[in-house]
Chains A and B, each alone.
Chain A
């Protein structure tokens, strides 16, 4: 820290401090107001426990979906060159800037029971996604995928392409090169992407309530529980808020911090 103090101008430090405080203050407020004495009691309530486990399932499944879809997508955005690439990139990043509610509505039109794809899912396979845990996973994946893709793309662009060429030179096929050279080199970006998309999925609310509704057994994740509590029992809402901060913080610190520091 001391050496950094010397090399970074004071004005930058001042700006950074203000920015950090701006981000920190709401959490201080939350933890200050939270009725800590009832923390354990509320967190161990059956409905809250159910929400916790639903949230874990949804966040984990959607991080997995992000992993499967995000790696090829991020790779193509970083490496490919074709007409309309810019447009593709913009569309991929859209869920990041769109209000999640709009995303959820759009999902309804596509994958809802009467959506242009969902209609066929329903009539051919009898699958309906809205108001199910699968729907909640889908909604969460929709909003968190861009975070994963960005993480992969920025890393893949910086990847030393000579290493991949060396692999080809040594006889490894392009697909083998991808799996044995490119992917391992992207390890940190993948871990960071998992952490980010997991945390984003955990906090997902708007798209979930719009697309997957609010069903206590299927889709009432922690943010939905928080939303209900906010209007009926603010104390409960604060406890759930604190709980979410704790979960997200520990995930971001351990998973992301670890993989970014390690080489």
Chain B
């Protein structure tokens, strides 16, 4: 049950790999491979697309690997294998990213990736002005608590965010969880065989490992 983590030069894949290995030790599954080889994606049972940095850079990195975009399209839309996008890897599932210009995403989740625009904080909040990036631990509001990937996650789990943009799904049923940051911020999206988290499960201690273990058990 091979889990392929796509390595396209974006950020730290080590913690993603290690946390999936830890989750696999609990949930079963693995081996976990970090790969830039489309053939390994085609052979994988599950695919994880991480990503940090800017939307356009990540997209360019992915397109810089010959055959990778096609292999991912095949995996997701033809084979319909279980797919997890993390942070910018999740944002790439959208139709368009509006960070530093307009960039095309995979279009698997209809909607755009737009800048966070936290409303001015009410006068009585202890934290004052809300900063961008939205950085730190925020509490999930699950809209689809029955989704298998969210199984047994406490309704108000805290998870770790670092981002300045978020995916706003065009279809409300694709929004699986949100957090409150001066506006309703997208935390988890999904449909069919796809799920994506804006936060970093690999950095979210027990709650993150739980979600990853659920993903490894998931048979959409």
Q: Do A and B come from one complex?
A: no
